[in-house]
């Protein structure tokens, strides 16, 4: 069920803007599934048959080559690659044809033509694949040599034929986008967040002063990877959104995009706070320059409770992130909140001056923030992976 008003300003940077600028940035993806390979092969064959039947080019190559390059797994990507291919090839063929008929073909004219094509392509706000269509088309024309204007126009029309057949091949019966890649990325991110907290609980205050002043706890390295996991999940969400655009079979998936973006936003918020907890714990514990106001045993107890709460809210294993009934979390949340307040009171009472325990109070504040974020996480998701 779509969450009314779920997409606000805080989700705009997660869901892509599917406009003209974005379509010209689309890049060809891999061949992917066997089904997609069969689709490409059939489309290329049809393109070659049509070009052989209608084209007046000496070599009816541009149509099947274009189809081979433009057929992608989603209508949106196919449209973007097709537009870049058709425009790039059209520009390249027409300019190169006029050029080679005016100056002829020699090593120096070939060099100037290719260089000019590269400079023109470089100035266009397209993807690299789209930019290269112009110099590739120029090389084709120059290598084939000067021809009549009619012949050159047919080369452009062959590209249009190939691009059109490629679009039909994808738009008529597009592949349904699968949320599985996004859900897998979310599970990886969630598991990394929880495991990082577990390492904080296991290691903080247990190593004496062996780290010295410059050493790092073992949990610092995995915490730095949390940003990579967040970026990977965001990339998967963008691919899912692009795969749903202009796709007649993607209605249910498209309706759930905002919910998925909201789940990622909330998980990313937890991930940011966990990185802050890691930074604070790394600075405070196992150092020779003082004893933290918040004892290591107390920290470990609090973090263990936090981990238990996150596992109950975010689920674990192969279960989609947030797909949990949240049974018995009220008691656990109340216990954690009470222990956090008690720890803060104890730190302030024992040390008296807030300035002496500022780092400990800040760490407790981050732990409490994660607790509140866990309670706010979108719950009751029966199976986000199956909402197709």
Per DSSP, 320 falls in state P
Instruction: Give every CB contact of residue 80 below 8 A, 6+ residues apart in sequence.
Output: 22, 23, 24, 25, 26, 127
Would you state the pLDDT for residue 382? 47
As a whole-number percent, the residues of the chain with pLDDT over 70 amount to 90
Tokens, residue 160? 């249009």
Q: What does the pLDDT read at residue 322?
A: 83
User: Quick check: 362 and 280 in contact, CB under 8 A?
Assistant: yes
Give the per-residue pLDDT at 144. Answer: 73
Per this entry, what is the length of the chain? 388
pLDDT score of 251 more than 90: no
Question: What confidence category does residue 225 fall into, taking pLDDT thresholds of 50, 70 and 90?
Answer: very high
One-character DSSP codes across 5-43? T--SGGGTTTSPP-SHHHHTT-------SHHHHHHHHHH
CA distances from 192 to 188, 229, 361 (A): 6, 8, 25
What pLDDT shows up at residue 3? 38
State the average pLDDT over residues 246-251.
82
Measured distance CA(27)–CA(75) in Å, rounded: 13
Of 149-153, 299-303, 312-316, give the lowest mean pLDDT range. Answer: 149-153
Residue indicated by tokens 């796709």 = 247
- Structural contact between residues 253 and 177, judged by C-beta atoms closer than 8 angstroms: yes
**Average pLDDT score, the chain:** 85
Tokens of 289: 């320059």
Instruction: Please report, for the chain, the start and end positions of each structural domain, with discontinuous segments joined by +.
Output: 9-171, 180-386
Q: Give Cα separations from 279 to 203, 306, 373 (angstroms).
A: 13, 17, 19
What average pLDDT score do residues 355-366 get? 85
Average pLDDT over residues 349-369: 81
Residues 173 and 101: their CA atoms lie apart, in Å, by: 43
Q: What is the mean pLDDT of residues 336-354?
A: 84
Provide mean pLDDT across the span 296-314. Answer: 94
d(CA 189, CA 94): 49
Helix (H, G, I), strand (E, B) or coil at 227: helix
Provide the CATH number for the domain formed by 180-386 in this structure.
1.20.58
**According to the model, what pLDDT value does residue 2 have?**
37
Tens digits of per-residue pLDDT, 279-291? 999 999 998 887 7
Q: Model confidence over 5-52: pLDDT tens digits? A: 444 446 777 888 777 777 777 777 777 778 888 888 999 999 999 999
Query: Judging by beta carbons within 10 Å of its beta carbon (0-12, 13-18, 19+), is residue 211 exposed, middle or buried?
Result: middle
- As a whole number of angstroms, the distance between CA 196 and CA 214 comes to 20
**Separation of alpha carbons 225 and 219, rounded Å:** 10
Give 142-158 pLDDT, tens digit per residue.
Answer: 887 766 667 777 878 88
Average of per-residue pLDDT across 198-217 = 88
* C-alpha to C-alpha distance for 382 and 270, rounded to whole angstroms: 22
Two tokens, residue 300: 């470990």
CA count, 13 A, side-chain hemisphere, 235: 8
Note the pLDDT tens digit of each residue in 103-118. Answer: 888 889 899 999 999 9
Cα–chain-centroid distance for residue 357?
Answer: 40
Indicate whether 169 pLDDT > 80.
yes
- Cβ-proximal residues to 90 (8 Å cutoff; 6+ apart), any chain: 156, 159, 160
- Cβ neighbours of 94 (radius 10 Å): 17
Crossing angle of the two packed helices 149-171 and 75-103, in degrees rounded to 10: 170
Task: Note the pTM of the prediction, 2 decimals.
Answer: 0.80
Residues 6+ apart with CB under 8 A from 38: none
Answer yes or no: are the C-beta atoms of 26 and 76 closer than 8 Å.
Answer: yes
């Amino acid at each position: 069920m779509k969450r009314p008003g779920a997409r606000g300003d805080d989700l705009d940077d997660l869901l892509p803007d599917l406009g003209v600028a974005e379509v010209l940035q689309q890049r060809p993806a891999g061949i992917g599934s066997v089904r997609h390979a069969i689709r490409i092969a059939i489309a290329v064959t049809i393109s070659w048959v049509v070009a052989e039947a209608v084209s007046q080019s000496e070599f009816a190559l541009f149509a099947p080559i274009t189809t081979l390059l433009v057929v992608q797994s989603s209508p949106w990507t196919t449209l973007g690659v097709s537009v870049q291919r058709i425009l790039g090839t059209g520009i390249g063929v027409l300019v190169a044809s006029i050029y080679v008929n005016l100056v002829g073909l020699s090593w120096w004219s070939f060099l100037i033509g290719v260089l000019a094509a590269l400079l023109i392509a470089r100035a266009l706000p397209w993807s690299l694949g789209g930019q290269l269509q112009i110099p590739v088309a120029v090389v084709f024309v120059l290598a084939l040599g000067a021809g009549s204007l009619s012949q050159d126009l047919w080369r452009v029309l062959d590209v249009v034929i190939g691009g059109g057949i490629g679009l039909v091949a994808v738009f008529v019966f597009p592949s349904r986008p699968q949320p599985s890649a996004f859900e897998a990325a979310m599970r990886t991110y969630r598991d990394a967040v929880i495991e990082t907290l577990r390492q904080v609980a296991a290691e903080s205050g247990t190593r004496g002063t062996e780290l010295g002043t410059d050493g790092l706890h073992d949990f610092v390295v995995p915490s730095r990877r949390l940003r990579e996991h967040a970026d990977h999940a965001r990339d998967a969400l963008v691919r899912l959104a692009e795969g749903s655009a202009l796709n007649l079979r993607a209605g249910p998936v498209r309706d759930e995009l905002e919910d998925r973006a909201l789940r990622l936003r909330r998980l990313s918020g937890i991930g940011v706070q966990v990185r802050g907890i890691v930074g604070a714990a790394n600075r405070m514990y196992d150092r020779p320059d003082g004893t933290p106001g918040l004892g290591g045993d107390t920290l470990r107890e609090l973090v263990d409770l936090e981990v238990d709460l996150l596992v109950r809210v975010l689920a674990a294993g192969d279960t989609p992130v947030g797909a949990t009934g949240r049974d018995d979390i009220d008691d656990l949340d109340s216990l954690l909140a009470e222990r956090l307040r008690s720890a803060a009171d104890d730190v302030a009472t024992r040390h008296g001056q807030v300035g002496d325990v500022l780092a400990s109070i800040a760490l407790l504040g981050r732990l409490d923030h994660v607790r509140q974020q866990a309670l706010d996480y979108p719950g009751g998701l029966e199976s986000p992976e199956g909402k197709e």
